Amino acid sequence: MMIATYVVAISLAAAMAIAALADVRKWPPPMKSVRKGIVKESTLPFLTAVKSVGALGIVVGLFVHWAGIAAAVGCVVYFVLAIGAHLRKRDWDVLPATGYLALSVAALVLFSSTQPQPNAQEALRERLFSCAMIG
């Protein structure tokens, strides 16, 4: 279960970081939302900061369990609101935001279902030592 948590968390963090970079560089996908009037251009720096903090929170959550849960909740809320903003403007192009939302929900479920290991380094040493003794 921990492997799935790491894979999903790293995927979500990478996706959020790329989305933040897209906002900074003004790549076409986020600018399409600006042109459609879904997002004001003046709010892009704020949204970029939210995405960046989400990505950072997910990465920190791999080491500090509660931070991962908090970041995943924040990502879920962000993308639910993003989908709502699109639907409010009658823009049915919500597939990218839905994919991000699915990844965020998966991260939240995985972070919530895995227990933090109190001493992960000691557990790793025990596993390595027991494998060395068997071989």
Domain range for 16 is 2-134
| pLDDT tens per residue across span 4-34 | 999 999 999 999 999 999 989 988 887 888 8
pLDDT at 129: 65
| pLDDT tens per residue across span 58-96 | 999 988 889 999 999 999 999 999 999 999 989 888 899
Q: What total of structural domains would you count in the chain?
A: 1
User: Residue 14, CB half-sphere, CA atoms under 13 Å: how many?
Assistant: 6
pLDDT at 38: 83
Count Cβ atoms within 10 A of the Cβ of residue 15 and give its class: 0-12 exposed, 13-18 middle, 19 or more buried. Answer: buried
> Mean pLDDT across the stretch 103-117?
89
Instruction: Enter the pTM of the model.
Output: 0.82
